[in-house]
Amino acid sequence: MSTKVKFIIFFILVFWGCSCFFFTCKSSDEAPEESRIIEKPNIIFISIDTLRADRLACYGYEKIKTPNIDFIAKRGVLFTQAICQVPVTLPSHASMFTGLNPTSHNVRENGTFRLDNSERTLAEILKESGYNTAAFIGGFPLDSRFGLDKGFDFYDDDLSDRKDQETIQGKISWQGHKVSTFERKAISVVESAIKWLSSNKESSCFLFIHLFDPHASYSPPAPFKKLYAHQPYDGEVAYVDYCLGKFFKKLEKWKILKDALIIITSDHGESLGEHNYWGHGKKLFEPSLRIPLIISFPSKMLQPKAVNGLVRSIDIMPTILELLDQEKVTEIQGVSLLPLMSDEEEKKLNLASYGETFFPRLRFGEEELRSYRTERWKYIRLIKDNKTVREKLFDLQNDPEEIQDCAKKEEKKTQEFASLLARVIENDRKLAVNKNTFFAMDEETRRKLKSLGYIR
């Protein structure tokens, strides 16, 4: 072969090689981000009941494997300091869906309240703008009778088709309701969502998925029961992650995952022995109020990052609407978190979070609790018979475990926060006027609420 021919062959090979390299690059990458502007991207809103942020691997917990939630976190915005407004399932979800504090939507407890018909919910707004809306519920507190089904075309709150035999059997009387089952396993919720999506995936969908498993009692199925034998709560969290993995796999297969707006959060945390308390609802300490919040939206070119400023459950709804360029809802307490998410450098919103729980008062005749929290300070007020019986103040920066009550030492600060709390309650209350949120419960429950002065 002559040198000239060799040179020509070499040139052709180099040219072919280069072409292949560029073709490979382009095909292995997704289409350039700029060209993927989706008019109505799918929205997947996942609420994992009773999930503490600090029990997820993506929040730095090393004793658990949550690869599927971590995957979404890795490509999204992770809020390190997200706070719920009330550590009770129905009121907290009502706040997520309306952008309102409980003082305004006036849903104060599970079972004995319902969301008023006049509320404008996230699902309603999305349905009006052309979304196909569906919800898949894991626990009875969100049954459609309590009003959270507003705006959903399909609301699957049928807990009876569960596969899990460990779930409570028989008729249970709870808050005046006779129910045969109280919850269903995550796999049943996820399978229902997959089934619905398989025949609706050609339309733009808003899916709300509620998974109840980390809620007590903690009894994860195999193999998680064995893997997390010393910490069954973690086992429930790992099991939920596994079920979400199955769901995300389907989304990927149907090419939904890459463009969808995905939100992962919780309605409240769980106290695992802190302050000698197990559970949620009775206290306003951080383990009950701290929640995870992850928002991933690759097609909007949201860059992965961690946001450290304080954010709240009530901010989720306005954030979703702004991300979708939807109408701005007025007269709500939540704000869009987009200013924290979009820039390289984190902006400051300096948000303050209102908190409350009426659960001890309505369920046990004890104190009701209210709180006002900034990034550094948390003020808690205990109220009995409409009178303040105790005030507490915690410096979260120097005392993150809320051990040292410095209400007396920091008297001026305590007074300042007491009046800030009073102002929030007063301002919010105007929006609660004329809202009919009492559920027509049985006579016994009604009498109990009446004796507590809660209903007339």
Identity of the residue, 379 or 439, whose beta carbon is nearer to Zn ion in the bound complex: 439
Per CB under 5 A, the segment of 71-79, 265-273, 401-409, 427-435 that binds Zn ion is: 265-273
Report CA-CA distances (Å) from 25 to 22, 35, 37, 202, 300: 5, 17, 21, 29, 22
Identity of the residue, 236 or 267, whose beta carbon is nearer to Zn ion in the bound complex: 267
Q: Which of 116, 149, 267, 286 binds Zn ion (CB under 5 A)?
A: 267
Nearest-approach distance from CB 185 to Zn ion, in angstroms: 16
Tokens of 113: 């309240």
Per CB under 5 A, the segment of 73-81, 262-270, 351-359, 386-394 that binds Zn ion is: 262-270
Identity of the residue, 89 or 98, whose beta carbon is nearer to Zn ion in the bound complex: 89
Identity of the residue, 49 or 119, whose beta carbon is nearer to Zn ion in the bound complex: 49
Identity of the residue, 142 or 261, whose beta carbon is nearer to Zn ion in the bound complex: 142
Identity of the residue, 41 or 281, whose beta carbon is nearer to Zn ion in the bound complex: 281
- Contact yes or no for 295/283 (Cβ under 8 A): no
Identity of the residue, 183 or 191, whose beta carbon is nearer to Zn ion in the bound complex: 183
Nearest-approach distance from CB 272 to Zn ion, in angstroms: 15
Per CB under 5 A, the segment of 14-22, 28-36, 46-54, 381-389 that binds Zn ion is: 46-54
Residues in 73-112 that interact with Zn ion by CB under 5 A: 89
Identity of the residue, 267 or 368, whose beta carbon is nearer to Zn ion in the bound complex: 267
Q: Does 288 bind Zn ion (CB under 5 A)?
A: no
Tokens of 54: 């600090």
Cα(136)–Cα(144) distance, rounded to whole angstroms? 11
Nearest-approach distance from CB 88 to Zn ion, in angstroms: 7
What are residue 239's phi and psi, to 5 degrees? -65, -45
Per CB under 5 A, the segment of 163-171, 228-236, 260-268, 304-312 that binds Zn ion is: 260-268
Residue nearest to Zn ion (CB): 89
Q: Does 49 bind Zn ion (CB under 5 A)?
A: yes
Nearest-approach distance from CB 257 to Zn ion, in angstroms: 27
Identity of the residue, 49 or 236, whose beta carbon is nearer to Zn ion in the bound complex: 49
Per CB under 5 A, the segment of 10-18, 44-52, 123-131, 255-263 that binds Zn ion is: 44-52
Q: Does 183 bind Zn ion (CB under 5 A)?
A: no
What are residue 254's phi and psi, to 5 degrees? -90, 10
Cβ-proximal residues to 271 (8 Å cutoff; 6+ apart), any chain: 277, 278, 279, 280, 283, 285, 287, 288
Nearest-approach distance from CB 87 to Zn ion, in angstroms: 8
Report CA-CA distances (Å) from 75 to 70, 72, 91, 262: 9, 6, 30, 10
Rounded-to-10 torsion of CA 330, 333, 339, 341:
-120
Positions touching Zn ion (CB under 5 A) are 49, 89, 267
